[in-house]
Amino acid sequence: MSGRDADPWALLRAFTDARVGQGCAGTSLPTRELLAFTQAHAAARDAVHADADFTGLRAALDGLGEPVLEVRSRAPDRATYVRRPDLGRALHPASAAELDAWHAAHPEPLDVAVVVADGLSARALAQVPGVLGALLPELRREGFRLAPVVFAAQARVALGDGVALALGARLVLVLIGERPGLSSPDSLGAYVTHAPQPVTPDSARNCVSNIRPAGLDGRTAAWRLHWLILNALRRALSGVPLKDDSGEVPRHFAPHALPRGG
């Protein structure tokens, strides 16, 4: 009997990280699958509770020459952040004051604010340099006025609205660690919101998700975000009325971000 005949699910497993065809031992899972599940669950928990390495991320972004600000939410620690999503959506008063001071010193109008937030997966922030390394130089080259990149600790997506309002930006892009799945503890999400308000409905945001090595690559994500940002600013809208029609990544987009041999 061939290996394929012995395990008819093996062919499907080659195309997905999903747990399919795990088999059974009596009334339970085989030991191998049970251990794999336990390991994946531990990785997901670690991703939620780990602290974001903003120092390492700042070093990784140094080559872009973008100024960086750091803020935090009203959630005082990780345990509170997990239990109180409302605190993660609001800027800490000290951070709000720092952004106000920056804006007072730089009152010129801005087009785009970029917020990098830990969210529910600090591991996902490893994907940020690949996205911003392709996206920000293109936006600069096209003449868009960008706010400093803002690193946000204990932050939810909506915290980006307060950042954009404080800095006077027309649009905010939030890159944030997504809630880990059992096969994806390192997935980054990106939310585009035009004209954010103190209370912005989720229907007013566009999302590009599953940015990770086994999902959407950084350059493709940057292309989709570039398309969404340009069209959100041109049409003065985002969310449900703005459909992603970006198509395939053109060869001229961020050629420096092409993988070797690409």
Confirm whether 194 is domain-assigned.
yes
Locus of tokens 């868009």 = 144
pLDDT at 12: 84
CB 115 within 8 A of CB 160: yes
Which of 32-36, 105-109, 157-161, 166-170 bottoms out in mean pLDDT, i.e. has the lowest? 32-36
pLDDT at 5: 59
Domain CATH number, residue 118 = 3.40.50.11240
- How far is residue 150's CA from residue 94's CA, in Å, rounded to a whole number? 15
Confirm whether 184 is domain-assigned.
yes
CB 75 within 8 A of CB 156: no
Q: Average pLDDT over the chain, rounded to whole?
A: 91
CB 21 within 8 A of CB 7: yes
Confirm whether 68 is domain-assigned.
yes
Average pLDDT over residues 249-260: 73
Residue numbering of the annotated binding site for adenosylcob(III)alamin: 157, 178, 207
The DSSP annotation for 18-65 comes to: S------BTTB--HHHHHHHHHHHHHHHHHHHSPP-HHHHHHHHGGGT
Predicted confidence (pLDDT) at residue 91 exceeds the cutoff of 50:
yes
The DSSP symbol for 232 reads H
pLDDT band at 82; cut points 50, 70, 90: very high
Confirm whether 4 is domain-assigned.
no
Structural domain total, the chain: 1
Confirm whether 26 is domain-assigned.
no
pLDDT tens digits, 127-145? 999 999 999 999 999 999 9
Q: Which residue range is the domain that position 169 belongs to?
A: 48-243
pLDDT band at 261; cut points 50, 70, 90: very low
Predicted confidence (pLDDT) at residue 260 exceeds the cutoff of 70:
no
Confirm whether 234 is domain-assigned.
yes
Confirm whether 235 is domain-assigned.
yes
Residue numbering of the annotated binding site: 157, 178, 207
Predicted confidence (pLDDT) at residue 87 exceeds the cutoff of 80:
yes
Average pLDDT over residues 2-10: 67
- Burial zone of 11 (CB within 10 Å; 0-12 exposed, 13-18 middle, 19+ buried): exposed
Confirm whether 36 is domain-assigned.
no
pLDDT at 257: 67
- How far is residue 202's CA from residue 23's CA, in Å, rounded to a whole number? 40
